[in-house]
């Protein structure tokens, strides 16, 4: 390969032209414009946080999926595609769509009907202050850590673009995100998320099309992957070109264990935990005008989610064949370049953009990436903001103040969260693989929450003490597994258990879930349950059926009703699992 090795002093990875900067600048004019307009409509704190429940389902549905189409989806999934190939699709078809449909069909009526502003608030009403406090704190910490990942990746894009040091680009990125959240709150965030979704699709679609053309179509890609697979340490061509059993992804040697790990660890615990309890996304559905719209929000979001792997994982696979630097790295060489000074799979997408996109489209792609990371981080910070001001500050620190007061607390929390995220972005930059880090965090925070949640919702005997004990024990057990594994905690892990890669985080999450469920049952047996009359709207069997449906929904045509929409999405997903 004769392609020059990059990263000379003062050299940038991406060489943008004035037209590319024009495209980026236009986006920021739009973003700031929306913020200013939305600000004029902020009236009280409920309006600020939930947009006054006035948005139609298709807006919140897209916002729902866009809140998730941030750093993880784009960089993480193209990196996974470059490294593992097709098994990465499990993050979508096993690890997302089923849980999104479950959220819309089963969980959403509870969230919406009980008019809670956050998942911790739901915990408060079901289990009382113990579980609520534990959950609110762990959720706030998780948001700060994940915001750090988004900020780190946003900073690394700015670095690739203008060639300034990573610490400086991170601070600039933080300032940009902060200025737009404080201008308009959730309304602006939702509008921007939808907008960035269209930009990212407009950029990634031609990227995939051109990349595929350059490698000689699907057959050329298969051939390239098969040739590359002959190198030592690379997953075999069969493993890379079939989604099941995905042993390279999980790091398990047994096919059966790998399938169990994917279905139970990723598909059930991590994914249901993430999608059904993560208020970053759930908050979007709460901004709708009816139960029917709230239920349809995640289901409408599931449709784009089904097809996103084709513009995230596929470009990653193409990059590993077409881009010399990524191909050499995959073959086991150390190549200079990238955000960290040497190439990793995380750089796959940026290098593919540089390889195939002409100036103009390149600007659209840069805009899309910047916008996606901003949206992801803004979503983390606004969720943190809600939990801190309503669930922690108002309840445990300073009670009974005016709406105005808590709005001010929220704004201060936003500033503080952004500053802290600069610190947590340093933490994120220490992990060689962002996806491993993120899945590990989800195991700590979401898996126990989901276990407590699902038990509390369907088992009315579960007690308040069991609520917080289960959460604490679940989180601690996941931390213990990550600590004992080979690399889930990076260099801090002890390596006592023979687990590595994303399989380790699946096991940690599974452990958290099982420990939480078992302890909750044991503790419930020896403590007193809540009176049944307090559980209406909180436990499935105690909630009248008419509370869970929107009578207006019957008047809609079938293709706008919740259940048919969910069934169609389910069928498409199953078909895709068979096809690949």
- Asked if residues 160 and 16 have their Cβ atoms less than 8 Å apart, the reply is no
Cα pseudo-dihedral 123, 552, 549, 301, rounded to 10: -60
Task: Check residue 3 for interaction with another protein (CB under 8 A).
Answer: no
Q: For another protein, which residue of 16, 32, 53, 416 counts as binding (CB under 8 A)?
A: 53
* 208 near another protein, judged by CB under 8 A: no
Handedness of CA 65, 70, 76, 78 (dihedral sign): positive
- Interhelix angle 501-526/434-458, rounded to 10 degrees, is 20
Alpha helices by DSSP H, 163-235: 166-215, 217-228
Of 23-31, 422-430, 510-518, 527-535, which part binds another protein (CB under 8 A)?
23-31
Site for another protein contains 355 (CB under 8 A): yes
Q: Point out which residues pair with 55 in neighbouring strands.
A: 288
Q: Is 218 in the site for another protein (CB under 8 A)?
A: no
> Tokens 């991590």 identify what position?
270
Alpha carbons 363 and 367: distance in angstroms, whole number? 6
- Single out the residue of 46, 53, 51, 18 nearest to residue 34, CA to CA: 51
- Label each residue of 348-375 as H, E or C: HHHHHHHHHCCCCHHHHHHHHHHHHHHH
Q: State yes or no: residue 57 binds another protein (CB under 8 A).
A: yes
Q: How far is CA 564 from the centre of its chain?
A: 26
Our finding on whether 490 is near another protein (CB under 8 A) is no
Figure out which of the listed residues 84, 191, 268, 506 binds another protein, where binding follows CB under 8 A.
191
Q: Which of 198, 307, 396, 458 binds another protein (CB under 8 A)?
A: 198
**By CB under 8 A, is residue 242 in contact with another protein?**
no
The answer to the question of residue 364 lying near another protein (CB under 8 A) is yes
Residue closer to another protein by CB (options 50, 421) is 50
Shortest Cβ 354–another protein spacing (Å): 9
DSSP 234: S
Using the rule CB under 8 A, give the single segment among 53-61, 380-388, 498-506, 539-547 that binds another protein: 53-61
If binding is defined by CB under 8 A, does position 162 make contact with another protein? Answer: no
Helices (H) and strands (E) counted in the chain, each on its own, are 27, 0
Compare residues 115 and 242 and give the one whose CB is closer to another protein.
115
Q: Does 23 interact with another protein (rule: CB under 8 A)?
A: yes
Per-residue three-class SS string for 68-97: HCCHHHHHHHHHHHHHHCHHHHHHHHCCCH
**C-beta neighbour count of 14 within 10 angstroms:** 18
Contact 71, 217 (CB under 8 A): no
List the beta bridge partners of residue 288.
55
For every residue of 172-191, DSSP letters joined together read: HHHHHHHHHHHHHHHHHHHH
115 binds another protein (CB under 8 A): no
Cα–Cα distance for residue pair 549/551, rounded to 1 Å: 6
Q: Is 217 near another protein (CB under 8 A)? A: no
Q: Is 347 in the site for another protein (CB under 8 A)?
A: no
- Choose between 289 and 486: whose C-beta lies nearer to another protein: 289
CB of 35 to another protein, least distance (A): 12
Q: Which of 530, 541, 402 is nearest to 463 (CA)?
A: 530
Q: Which is nearer to another protein, 292 or 386 (CB)?
A: 292
Residue closer to another protein (CB basis): 37 or 563? 37
Residues 119 and 279: beta-carbon distance below 8 Å:
yes
Smallest gap, in angstroms, from Cβ of residue 552 to another protein? 4
361 binding another protein? (CB under 8 A): yes
Q: How far is the CB of 290 from another protein (least distance, A)?
A: 5
Q: Which stretch binds another protein (CB under 8 A): 50-58, 98-106, 160-168, 429-437?
A: 50-58
Figure out which of the listed residues 206, 324, 490, 529 binds another protein, where binding follows CB under 8 A.
206
When the beta carbons of 82 and 356 are compared against another protein, the nearer one is 356
User: Between 33 and 332, whose beta carbon lies closer to another protein?
Assistant: 33
CA max distance for the chain: 74
Q: Which residues bind another protein (CB under 8 A)?
A: 19, 22-23, 26-27, 30, 34, 37, 41, 51-57, 59, 191, 194-195, 198-199, 202, 205-206, 209-210, 213-214, 289-293, 355-361, 363-364, 550-552
């Amino acid at each position: 390969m004769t392609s020059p090795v990059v990263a000379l002093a003062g050299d940038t990875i991406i060489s943008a032209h004035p037209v590319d900067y024009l495209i980026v600048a236009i986006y920021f004019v739009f973003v700031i414009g929306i913020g200013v307009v939305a600000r004029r409509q902020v009236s009280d704190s409920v309006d600020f946080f939930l947009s006054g429940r006035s948005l139609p389902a298709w807006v919140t549905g897209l916002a729902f999926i866009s809140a998730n189409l941030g750093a993880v989806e784009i960089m993480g999934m193209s990196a996974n595609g470059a490294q593992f190939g097709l098994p990465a699709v499990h993050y979508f078809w096993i690890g997302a769509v089923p849980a999104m449909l479950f959220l819309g069909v089963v969980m959403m009526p509870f969230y919406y009907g009980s008019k809670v502003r956050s998942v911790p608030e739901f915990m408060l009403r079901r289990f009382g202050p113990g579980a609520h406090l534990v959950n609110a704190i762990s959720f706030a910490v998780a948001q700060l850590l994940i915001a750090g990942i988004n900020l780190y990746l946003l900073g690394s894009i700015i670095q690739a673009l203008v060639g300034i040091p990573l610490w400086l680009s991170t601070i600039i990125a933080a300032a940009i995100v902060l200025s737009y959240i404080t201008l308009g709150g959730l309304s602006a965030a939702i509008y921007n998320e939808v907008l960035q979704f269209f930009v990212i699709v407009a950029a990634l679609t031609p990227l995939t099309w051109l990349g595929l053309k350059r490698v000689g179509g699907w057959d050329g890609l298969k051939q390239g992957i098969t040739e590359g697979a002959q190198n030592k340490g690379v997953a075999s061509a069969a493993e890379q070109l079939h989604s099941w059993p995905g042993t390279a992804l999980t790091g398990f040697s047994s096919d059966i264990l790998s399938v169990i790990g994917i279905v139970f660890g990723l598909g059930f615990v991590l994914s249901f935990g993430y999608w059904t309890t993560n208020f970053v996304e759930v908050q979007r559905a709460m901004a709708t005008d009816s139960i029917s719209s709230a239920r349809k929000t995640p289901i409408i979001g599931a449709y784009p989610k089904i097809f996103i792997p084709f513009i995230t994982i596929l470009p990653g696979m193409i990059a590993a064949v077409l881009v010399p630097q990524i191909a050499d790295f995959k073959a086991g060489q150390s190549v200079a370049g990238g955000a960290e000074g040497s190439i990793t799979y995380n750089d796959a997408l940026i290098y593919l953009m540089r390889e195939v996109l002409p100036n103009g489209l390149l600007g659209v792609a840069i805009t899309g990436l910047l916008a996606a990371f901003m949206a992801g981080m803004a979503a983390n910070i606004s969720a943190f903001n809600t939990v801190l001001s309503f669930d922690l500050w108002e309840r445990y620190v300073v009670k009974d103040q005016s709406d105005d007061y808590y709005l001010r607390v929220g704004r201060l929390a936003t500033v503080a969260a952004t500053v802290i995220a600069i610190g947590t972005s340093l933490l994120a930059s220490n992990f060689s693989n962002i996806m491993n880090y993120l899945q590990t965090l989800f195991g700590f925070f979401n898996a126990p929450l989901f276990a407590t949640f699902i038990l509390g919702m369907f088992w009315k005997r579960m007690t308040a003490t069991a609520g917080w004990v289960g959460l604490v024990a679940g989180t601690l057990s996941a931390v213990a597994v990550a600590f004992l594994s080979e690399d889930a905690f990076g260099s801090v892990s002890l390596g006592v258990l023979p687990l590595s890669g994303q399989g380790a985080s699946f096991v940690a999450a599974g452990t958290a879930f099982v420990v939480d469920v078992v302890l909750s049952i044991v503790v419930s047996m020896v403590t007193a349950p809540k009176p049944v009359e307090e559980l209406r709207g909180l436990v499935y069997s105690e909630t009248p059926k008419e509370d869970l449906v929107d009578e207006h929904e019957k008047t809609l045509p079938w293709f706008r009703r919740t259940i048919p929409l969910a069934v169609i999405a389910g069928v498409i997903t199953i078909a895709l699992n068979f096809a690949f």
